[in-house]
A and B are shown apart, each in its own frame.
Chain A
């Protein structure tokens, strides 16, 4: 047993180690990347295999293969990752696992580090019928990861740990076990098409089996210590909360000097309905404190219909559905509900010139973005994608006309170019190209549109903190591997006009843009120059070459 201050995500790693994880796969994103990174450093010495997959769908599928071969697995991804992997997530609920599997999903309320949407991934519980646990603290990140593996082992079902930025990037003391060193476990695949194949009509039986399984898990959830009642037993007003919101509730109660009963739910799905109905019995009003979507609120309304039909249920009438919650917002809601006066706050955020995130000093994109802007004719449409190249949309560049999800620039640029007949310049990074850009490229070639695709190949997945990708010659665990060359992929996809260059050769780059803008077919320019931050890190700490090799080549 040890006590240490850990980041929520470090506690997830500790929990998985304590549970005896064998196989770790994921795709880096914010706020989840630290999990895979830590495994990259410690996997070998702990007898674990860890990888960055090319995207979250493949990451999940790799873990499914591991689970079917008898290895305990952990999958890690950010919120949007679960969208990408959902196609395989749903059948996984049907087949179930053979060896236990925990899937970590990091949501980012308030979109601190997320373009795209303010996603509440808890909703996937209903779509997939996979149990979801919702930790509040690094200690719970550790405890719930272990619990997740236990549930998965007991019921042969994957378990999702759904965290948020304020939990994943929260530091606090954690008490954890140091596991006994284990050897690499070799999996064994025992054929069992009855379990592993979702062919109809078997798939319908599987659904029935899944629903029966969920009943049992619900019974387990009712008795689990992950759900707790805190505070005064019989207050007329009760609070139901989970995740980080629970802490805001406790702070707000202190702040207002209130003593109310609080039901803290560690199980989001399946919901311990008996526990909830016991809690709401005899209460007059309930405040549901949850971030983003009113999932719990709706469930509690449904339960109250039978148990306590006079109960007044508050939630999104008093708390915003947009943005993170905080103690102040919960104080205001509680003050409205209880009539307790709040001290007036005089300080307000000042209106100041905004500091936009910007490209780092020496970033290769400083050569690329201004050159594109200079050469592109007035009125050029610019496609944008996820990663450091998102900065193309910020001053002083301002060359981004749409930004969606990983790899989406490929499809949208094709659609715009097909629809308007106009030349589109589409910008994408190397990591994103591998993640989901490739199918879009094939589609653009196949369906005969003509965007100019500029791949900003900085030799690393940079925005999330330098994670290895298929283009740079190293795996997560630091093994050497053949570099997948983007220009060769493009050629193999049927792109006839392909150019690779060092963007410092501005004249060459300018000429290539001018030339390719005239083409009636898809063209690809690969601008290859290592991320300046990575270059500095490697210079300051040559030991890092163990994990990064020599990505410039």
Chain B
């Protein structure tokens, strides 16, 4: 478990998470689940998201911070403990939140546009940046294949992070949060996506 001590007298411990991707990938739902899970596990929590224009297929970055006591909802440059990304290029866009210790959990999935970088170039940049802390996962592909919906990739990644203990949040609390937040109609499939990461 990697909770970093900030440079303070109080030894406050805060876990800094960046969620990044593209509008329409269900990232806002993801942050609601995370926030609720944090509360269930007894953490103080703050997160910051954007709505509106940026959601229309633009770049989306959400900050989530949890620990004993959190002031700012925003992660500072170079201070992320974990970056979870649902889109390859967007990972690079928010890489300034990382330092050498940051763990990257990246969905191997491109939402392309004219002028998009070659995938190999993105992967190379990521492996240079994250070295031994890089997890590249075919989340969209797996969710599409197993559950018929690639939009579940984010929940899959959350399951991956929790089961592999790269986020200090226990699966039981996240599952409970999913139950509280996701409407009944989609609850089952979200739980499946979350647990899929444990099976693979």
The interface of chain A, by Cβ under 8 A from chain B, is 3-5, 30-31, 33-34, 112-114, 137, 165-166, 169-173, 244, 247-248, 250-251, 254-255, 257, 259, 326-328, 343, 345-350, 352-353, 355-360, 388, 390-391, 395-396, 463-465, 541
The listed residue (A31, A248, A254, A348) touching B96 by CB distance below 8 A is A348
B22 contacts the other chain (CB 8 A): yes
Given A5-B36, A345-B78, A355-B113, are A170 and B56 also a contact pair (CB < 8 Å)? Answer: no
A392 CA / B50 CA spacing, docked (Å): 22
Pair B58/A356 contact, Cβ less than 8 Å = yes
| A165 surroundings in chain B (CB, below 8 A) | 50
| B10 surroundings in chain A (CB, below 8 A) | 254
B87 to A, closest residue via Cβ = A355
CB distance from B61 to the nearest CB of A (A): 10
CB distance from B182 to the nearest CB of A (A): 13
B1 contacts the other chain (CB 8 A): no
Pair B22/A30 contact, Cβ less than 8 Å = no
Pair A391/B56 contact, Cβ less than 8 Å = yes
Q: How big is the B interface, by class? A: 35 or more
Pair A359/B56 contact, Cβ less than 8 Å = yes
B26 contacts the other chain (CB 8 A): no
Report B163-185 CB contacts with A as 1/0, cut-off 8 Å: 00000000000000000000001
A30 to B, closest residue via Cβ = B52
CB distance from A327 to the nearest CB of B (A): 5
A255 CA / B92 CA spacing, docked (Å): 26
Pair B51/A255 contact, Cβ less than 8 Å = no
Pair B93/A349 contact, Cβ less than 8 Å = yes
Q: Which residue of A169, A255, A391, A463 has the most chain B CB atoms within 10 A of its CB atom?
A: A169
The listed residue (B7, B44, B53) touching A255 by CB distance below 8 A is B7
Q: 18 extra interchain contacts, Cβ-Cβ under 8 A, other than A30-B52, A170-B47, A358-B56?
A: A5-B39, A30-B53, A112-B52, A166-B74, A171-B49, A171-B73, A173-B39, A326-B72, A328-B77, A345-B77, A350-B92, A352-B89, A353-B115, A355-B58, A355-B93, A356-B58, A463-B56, A465-B51
CB distance from B192 to the nearest CB of A (A): 18
B76 contacts the other chain (CB 8 A): yes
Would you list which residues of chain B between 95 and 152 have a CB under 8 Å from chain A? Answer: 95-99, 113-117, 125
| B36 surroundings in chain A (CB, below 8 A) | 5
Pair A250/B72 contact, Cβ less than 8 Å = yes
Pair A33/B51 contact, Cβ less than 8 Å = yes
Given A347-B78, A357-B56, are A169 and B92 also a contact pair (CB < 8 Å)? Answer: no
Pair A173/B99 contact, Cβ less than 8 Å = no
Pair B71/A250 contact, Cβ less than 8 Å = yes
B6 contacts the other chain (CB 8 A): yes
A80 CA / B76 CA spacing, docked (Å): 29
B24 contacts the other chain (CB 8 A): yes
The interface of chain B, by Cβ under 8 A from chain A, is 6-10, 12, 22-24, 31-32, 35-36, 38-39, 44-59, 70-74, 76-78, 89-90, 92-93, 95-99, 113-117, 125, 185
A464 CA / B50 CA spacing, docked (Å): 12
| A5 surroundings in chain B (CB, below 8 A) | 32, 35-36, 38-39, 45
B59 to A, closest residue via Cβ = A355
A352 CA / B98 CA spacing, docked (Å): 16
CB distance from A234 to the nearest CB of B (A): 18
Pair B73/A172 contact, Cβ less than 8 Å = yes
CB distance from A258 to the nearest CB of B (A): 9
A463 CA / B58 CA spacing, docked (Å): 13
Please report whether the interface of chain A is mostly helix, strand, loop or mixed according to DSSP.
loop
Pair B52/A171 contact, Cβ less than 8 Å = no
| B90 surroundings in chain A (CB, below 8 A) | 355
Pair B24/A360 contact, Cβ less than 8 Å = yes
Pair A352/B48 contact, Cβ less than 8 Å = no
| B77 surroundings in chain A (CB, below 8 A) | 328, 345, 347
Pair A353/B56 contact, Cβ less than 8 Å = no
Pair A113/B54 contact, Cβ less than 8 Å = yes
The listed residue (A31, A327, A348, A391) touching B51 by CB distance below 8 A is A31
The listed residue (B50, B70, B78, B97) touching A346 by CB distance below 8 A is B78
Pair A113/B99 contact, Cβ less than 8 Å = no
CB distance from B106 to the nearest CB of A (A): 15
17 CB contacts below 8 A, A to B, read A4-B39, A31-B51, A169-B49, A169-B50, A171-B31, A173-B45, A247-B73, A248-B72, A251-B71, A257-B8, A346-B78, A350-B95, A355-B22, A355-B59, A356-B58, A359-B57, A464-B52
| B24 surroundings in chain A (CB, below 8 A) | 360
CB distance from A164 to the nearest CB of B (A): 11
Pair A171/B93 contact, Cβ less than 8 Å = no
CB distance from A548 to the nearest CB of B (A): 17
A33 CA / B53 CA spacing, docked (Å): 13
A137 CA / B31 CA spacing, docked (Å): 17
Pair B57/A463 contact, Cβ less than 8 Å = no
Q: Which 10 A-B pairs have the closest CB atoms?
A: A113-B52, A30-B52, A357-B58, A247-B72, A250-B71, A357-B56, A353-B115, A5-B35, A113-B53, A358-B57
CB distance from B76 to the nearest CB of A (A): 5
Pair B54/A357 contact, Cβ less than 8 Å = yes
Pair A347/B99 contact, Cβ less than 8 Å = yes
A540 to B, closest residue via Cβ = B185
